[in-house]
Amino acid sequence: MAYKDWPIAAQFGLAVVGAVLIAFAGWSYVPNLKQMREEITSKRKQLDDLNEQIRQGKVLEKKLPDIKREIALLEIKLGDLKAIIPPVREDSQLVERLRSLADRSRLDIVGTQFQGLREADFYWEYPISIVVRGSYHDLAIFFDRLSREARIFNVAGLAMQATPSSPTQTIQASFAAVTFIYKADEEEKPAPAAGKT
């Protein structure tokens, strides 16, 4: 028998039972729907965050060649600065360099002596006492050549005296050639380079 042929009371009863079942199903489904909406909102936020990270990554990716070029230039500058104020002691290399400058300037180095390091803000002062013999003119040439070195040297405490016993070596001069060592971070006083004195 078809539904429309049922008695009115049966149709009404079936409609009420159907409505109650639909209401119950809806009532039990609503909390799940709310939870699903919260999950969807959370996932959308995560998606937006990921999209923003991707956008920022693409911007950085476009800048990467410029950043690499800048790093390469900074490394070159750092190398230049390390030539001017190196981060390590180089005792024997310094003496060798000073002897070479003196030889080219026709001076004889009578003696060299390393003095104690003196601490400053971001560097150590590294004085080397030097005694030379030669002429006044040759000493001036030596100081000129020393001033042209890549590494910074200051001359302090210059004292000269005549040496009349030699026609070519008319003076003996003593002075301190002060150079510098870069202080990396808050490290201890630099020791001489390994194997160097």
Question: What does the block give as tokens for 112?
Answer: 């060299």
pLDDT tens-place values along the chain, 197 residues long: 676 777 778 778 888 888 888 877 766 666 666 777 788 889 999 999 999 999 998 888 888 888 888 888 888 877 777 666 666 667 778 888 899 999 999 999 998 888 888 887 778 888 999 999 999 999 999 999 999 888 888 899 999 998 877 777 889 999 999 888 877 655 556 655 444 43
Euclidean distance between CA atoms 107 and 193, whole angstroms:
27
CB 158 within 8 A of CB 172: no
How high is the pLDDT of residue 195? 42
How high is the pLDDT of residue 103? 93
Euclidean distance between CA atoms 76 and 169, whole angstroms:
43
How high is the pLDDT of residue 187? 53
Coil vs helix vs strand at 71: helix
Q: Residue 44: left (phi > 0), alpha (psi -120 to 50), or beta?
A: alpha
Coil vs helix vs strand at 89: coil
Coil vs helix vs strand at 134: strand
How high is the pLDDT of residue 37? 78
